Amino acid sequence: MNNNLQGLTQYWRLYMLTFILGLGGTLQYGLQVSIMTSPAQHIQEFVNQTWLDRYEVPVGESTNTLIWSLMVSILSVGGLIGTIHSRVLPVKYGRKTSMQINNVVAILAAVLMILCQMFKSFEMILIARIMYGYNIGMGINLHLMYLSEISPKRLRGFLTLTSSIFLSLGKLLGQILGISDVMGTADLWPYLLGFSGLPAMLQFVLLLWFPETPRYLFIDRGDEEGCKKVLGWLWQEEDAGLKLELEDMRKERESQSEKAKTVLDTLTSRSVRWQLLAMLIPSSGLQFCGINAIYFYAFHIFHESGVPAEKMQYLSLGIGATEVITVSLCGFTIERMGRKKLLGYGYLLMAILMCILIVMLTIKDMAPWLPYFNIGLLFTVICVYGLGPSGASMCLPADLFLQVWRPAAFAVGGIVNWVSLFGIGMVFPYVVEGMGQYCFLIFVTYCTFTSFFVLYFIPETKGKTSMEIDEDFKKLNFKNTSQKSDDFLVTKL
């Protein structure tokens, strides 16, 4: 913790830039995930009224449900497109310029949202949601790329983890703005949906005063002098510290003399096989660890406890605030404990807590205090999720891959994340309907497997340079060069 707080004056530009970066994809992600919930009734009424004005008949119930489902889930489609494009844009134009281009997409989407009621077009909402999804898919990867490439080694985990903090802040902000006493009203809901344009405008303007990343300048563009100036300006360090960083970049550039890798290269190359597994299995766990089920069951458990319907939105805010606080605390422990322990033991503890929750939900009618115990259990699971999996998973693509692989690795991780999110969104309601509280058994299995994989197979990355991490993974990737042994490793997984 002392290391994270050390040099607050020295790194003030770095911390300011970290805040500016957070206004992009990660904050937007949280906003867009939570912001559609509160005005759902007003949006559906708008769709029905628009349909009635056009066709002089009310919209059918099934059609209305389909349109609403598209409005919610189409964000994932845009996110997938943005993630795929994030491999190309930052390589061609650089990280900073790509973020500014991405901000324009969010601003245009906000304009469509604000004007949809005036033009009586629910199609504008659909188009804007795709654009927001693109902005998020691109923005999250750019945010993490930029942070990992400007951070000193000892602050890399702490700074890249701020992306998780901004994501949680976005969820909480969306919940606050969506309260019926704030912007979740029949008159203000278009402005609520267009609110994401404001942080995008702020980021676009503020980035004008900040530079391109030093690693992009040196490794991708070969501009050593420009890199040196940017490092000195951002870090405010003595020459000795900068020389060590430049030497690490030089080694990486010499060892990776090829062009930036493609997604296909990343998926098929043996030289990053274990890095890919180490990124995808824990990152997929963010969707398959059961946190979405926890949020779904929260309202059911609140209702069972006798919480009035009008008060549930405030308990929901409590859940959001809990996630923000615990993810923030993770930032002060990640460089002390390391990614491996936070991920491995975090997923294991989530599995244990969800087993207890299954039992408690099954016997909830046996005693009047059990529903209140279940509320406490819900908050405990969210605390563990924030302290471990949510925070530490976001650092993985930046930690595990060298510069030449990094954009493609972010794209692969993002594709898996968005496909998983879309799949969970489509299938989860049917799973809950069919299995009830026993749906948590699926998530318990995945959390247990992920914990075992991280603790027993993956090396720690804490306090290591990119080249040192790469050397650790080479021992796994090329442990045995025979085809037979290679097949055994895959089978073992």
CATH class of the domain whose range is 258-493: mainly alpha
Mean pLDDT of 303-311: 67
Q: Indicate the pLDDT class of residue 481, thresholds 50, 70 and 90.
A: low
Q: Which of 249, 273, 260, 277 shows the shortest CA–CA distance to 465?
A: 249
Contacts of 27 (CB under 8 A, 6+ apart): 166, 167, 169, 170, 173, 199
Distances (CA, A) of 345 to 389, 445, 452: 9, 14, 9
Q: Where are the alpha helices (DSSP H) in 289-369?
A: 291-304, 312-337, 339-362
Residue with tokens 């895959």: 490
More confident residue, 403 or 482: 403
Mean pLDDT of 42-51: 90
Lowest mean pLDDT, pick from 226-230, 471-475, 488-492: 488-492
Strand intervals (E) in 421-470:
none
CA 358 – CA 438 distance, rounded (Å): 6
Q: pLDDT by residue (tens digit) across 355-383?
A: 998 888 888 778 778 878 888 888 888 88
Say what the pLDDT of residue 190 is. Answer: 93
- Is a pLDDT exceeding 90 seen at residue 324? no
Q: Do domains 1-210 and 258-493 have the same CATH topology?
A: yes
Q: pLDDT by residue (tens digit) across 7-36?
A: 555 677 888 888 888 888 788 888 887 888
Distances (CA, A) of 69 to 54, 170, 249, 476: 21, 22, 47, 44
Mean pLDDT of 413-427: 76
CA 402 – CA 285 distance, rounded (Å): 23
SS (H, E, C) 287-305: HHCCHHHHHHHHHHHHHHC
Q: Indicate the pLDDT class of residue 194, thresholds 50, 70 and 90.
A: very high
Q: Report CA dihedral (299, 304, 305, 309) to the nearest 10 degrees.
A: 50
The pTM (predicted TM-score) of the whole model is 0.80
476 residue type, one letter: L
Lowest mean pLDDT, pick from 51-60, 256-265, 326-335, 459-468: 256-265
Say what the pLDDT of residue 112 is. Answer: 96
- Is a pLDDT exceeding 90 seen at residue 394? no
- Evaluated on CA atoms 417, 422, 428, 431, the torsion sign reads negative
Residue with tokens 């010499």: 254
Say what the pLDDT of residue 309 is. Answer: 66
Say what the pLDDT of residue 103 is. Answer: 94
CA 196 – CA 107 distance, rounded (Å): 8
CA 493 – CA 476 distance, rounded (Å): 13
Q: What is the average pLDDT score of the chain?
A: 81
Q: Domain ranges in the chain?
A: 1-210, 258-493
Domain 1-210 architecture: Up-down Bundle (1.20)
User: Using an 8 Å Cβ cutoff, are 201 and 195 in contact?
Assistant: no
